[in-house]
Chain A
Amino acid sequence: MSGGRPLTVLRDINLEIEARSAVAIVGPSGSGKTTLLALLAGLDLPTAGSVTLDGQLLNDLTEDERATLRAEKVGFVFQSFQLIPTLTALENVLVPIELQARAAKHDGSEPERRARELLARVGLADREHHYPAQLSGGEQQRVGLARAFANRPKILMADEPTGNLDADTGGTVIDLMVRLNQEEGTTLLLVTHDTQLASKAHRIVRLSGGAVVEDRRVSAP
């Protein structure tokens, strides 16, 4: 709703994303990129149509079931990092693992080892006990990356992951994300204005006015 009147943010979207592919969703501000990402992650439900994630129809799931599905299968990277400020870098990375362990009703195997390994892979092995406020923006986003991959997600959703970083730091984060994505065999869904970042994707979907205006395959996954 906007100003008391219904507002159509997305319309006629028919999108299928292959496993292990990297898809960039691009478009001007207000084109519905983030709303599409929220629908695909089950953070919101469409007023019409349906969303299927890894064979699971999200429309049929309760809020708690969708949360459990996200804990098991989805990783997130946010533009403003969004680390939990009261947890250390290591504890932030542990959050999805602990959530996944709860969803599966058993303890994850050596969650701390996994979290430490990821922090080492993003180059922050020596900063694991630092709080977000003690880390630079680039370091926080690297922790965000480690957190996003912590629960071995099937799909990684990144919303403007370099939007708050300078060019050099953004480049480092992009390289890290692409490398981790390849190593972990994750499907990557990127919302970005960053052409450098979009160019790393196998496929570029362009939105405008809430509709797909271009769906271009750049390379094979």
Chain B
Amino acid sequence: MAPGPWWRIGWRNLGRNRRRTLITAAGLAFGYLAVVLLVGWMEGLTAEMIESGTSTLSGQLQVHDLDYRPERKIYDTIGGRDGADVDRLLGEVAADPAIEAAAARVFGGGLVSSGEATTAGVLVGIDPARERRVSNLLRALTAGQPPEPGTNEILIGSEMARQLDVDIGDEIILVVPAADGSMGNDLYTVSGIFRSGLAELDASYAMMPIESLQTLVVLDPNRIHEIAASTVDPWLAPEAADRIRARLEPLGLGIEVEPWTRLRPEMLDYAQLAQAWNWVIIVIVFGIAIFGVLNTMLMATYERRREFAVMLALGTSPLAVARTVLAEALSLGVLSLVAGAIITFPVMIWFHNSPPDLSFLYGDYTFFGALIRPRLRVEYSLEMWLLTGIALLLTAIIASLYPAIRSARVPPADTLSGL
């Protein structure tokens, strides 16, 4: 059956008072822009928090001995005191399709001294070539260069350098408890200084070639504390961890494979909270819009009481009259959605690719232990665009229910009296 005249009437009625239609459609379209942009910013902030929080040092996924966390004892290396085939482990982790790169690490903790100054430090033994693809610290150098393998070079944070009053080429002394119960100590040359922006890292962390730290803390070359990995997408880390755990299980090493969602549950909680806020934003913005549309539709339908009475007299059922009003509202919603999309997507592309930099207002800040740059970066979310579009159409329809019911209840005899 061909569509009745009611859709035509609903659609064309939008053109009867174009200014009113344009104002209402503009309100809904800007509501769409506001929601998509706000949600995009929330998602952008969340994405930056996760990226920064996982990429600065921790990586998106880590492999440890089952007993290593949370105490992080120096002798709880992967594979226990016998150690493991590190190259094979790295190969198995990197073989997962979601993994971008993997790097082995050794940790130690002790005193870092220079002259009269001494500070506590966390020492990280790294393979600089691999580490560069897993974390960002080696890219945050403010001076010098990463430590060369096979040397006694060390990379320290800018705050540690300030506290120790050292610069590139200066020597520092490390005194650390070793895995065999002895105290390891040696002289190291500062090859580089990094500045991550995170106070804890810049004041306490130092990085050196992995074999150099293994020597210092008396660990064999096959004994490491951690394999850290980066993923192509942070949200793929949980599934990748499951696959890698299953892949490594036959080796019988007694290891844990944990994604960032378990290593940094507070970040996951925030991401989930942000998603819940997306709905709050939708409800608030379109909740306000409902009253604007309701006002417009009430005025429009009141002006058309006689038209509805004629339609009822000609044999239109009250339900069909209501349908005409709802068709008009839905047409208005579609028009607004198209207008909203036209103004929203260029703004989204701009804010995604060249987010306005607000560093002239305030500097970097930390959020859940992640360094956030003051930029209005937005993330694309097709799902939220669609849901916001549906919310816009529902707003138009819900706002028109009452006017539609009133229109269907127009008393034709009284209204047509004297026509």
A residues contacting B by CB (< 8 A) are 34-35, 38-39, 41, 43-44, 63-64, 67-72, 74, 76, 78-80, 82, 84-87, 91, 94-96, 98-103, 107, 147, 151, 159
Number of interface residues, chain B, beta carbon within 8 A = 30
Known: A87-B5, A91-B8. A67 touches B315 (CB 8 A): yes
Which among B192-200, B276-284, B303-311, B372-380 touches the partner chain?
B303-311
B313 pairs with A41, CB closer than 8 A: yes
Q: Within residues 1 to 36 of chain B, which ones have a CB less than 8 A from any CB in chain A?
A: 1-2, 4-5, 8-9, 12-13, 15-16
| B7, chain A: closest CB distance, angstroms | 11
| B226, chain A: closest CB distance, angstroms | 71
Distance A151 CA – B314 CA, assembled complex (angstroms) = 10
Distance A68 CA – B314 CA, assembled complex (angstroms) = 9
Distance A39 CA – B4 CA, assembled complex (angstroms) = 28
B418 pairs with A95, CB closer than 8 A: no
CB-CB under 8 A from B418, the residues of chain A are: 34, 79
Q: Counting CB contacts under 8 A, is B172 at the interface?
A: no
Distance A76 CA – B315 CA, assembled complex (angstroms) = 10
Known: A64-B318, A87-B12. A79 touches B5 (CB 8 A): no
CB-CB under 8 A from A71, the residues of chain B are: 314-316
| B119, chain A: closest CB distance, angstroms | 80
Distance A38 CA – B306 CA, assembled complex (angstroms) = 15
A107 pairs with B413, CB closer than 8 A: no
Q: What is the number of contacts between chain A and chain B, taking CB atoms within 8 Å?
A: 99
Q: Can you list 28 A-B contacts with CB-CB less than 8 angstroms, sorted by A residue number?
A: A34-B413, A35-B417, A38-B412, A39-B413, A43-B313, A43-B413, A44-B412, A64-B317, A64-B318, A67-B317, A67-B318, A71-B314, A71-B315, A76-B310, A78-B416, A78-B419, A82-B310, A84-B311, A85-B307, A87-B5, A94-B5, A95-B311, A98-B2, A99-B314, A102-B1, A107-B1, A147-B314, A151-B315
CB-CB under 8 A from B313, the residues of chain A are: 41, 43, 70, 76
Distance A211 CA – B413 CA, assembled complex (angstroms) = 19
Per a CB cutoff under 8 Å, which of B2, B314, B419 touches A70?
A: B314
Could you list 14 further interchain pairs (A-B, Cβ under 8 angstroms) beyond the known A63-B318, A84-B5? Answer: A34-B413, A38-B413, A41-B313, A43-B416, A72-B315, A80-B419, A82-B307, A82-B416, A85-B307, A86-B8, A86-B12, A98-B2, A107-B1, A159-B416
| A64, chain B: closest CB distance, angstroms | 5
Distance A100 CA – B310 CA, assembled complex (angstroms) = 15
Q: Within residues 397 to 419 of chain B, which ones have a CB less than 8 A from any CB in chain A?
A: 411-414, 416-419
B319 pairs with A64, CB closer than 8 A: yes
CB-CB under 8 A from B306, the residues of chain A are: 82
CB-CB under 8 A from A102, the residues of chain B are: 1, 4
CB-CB under 8 A from B310, the residues of chain A are: 76, 78, 82, 84
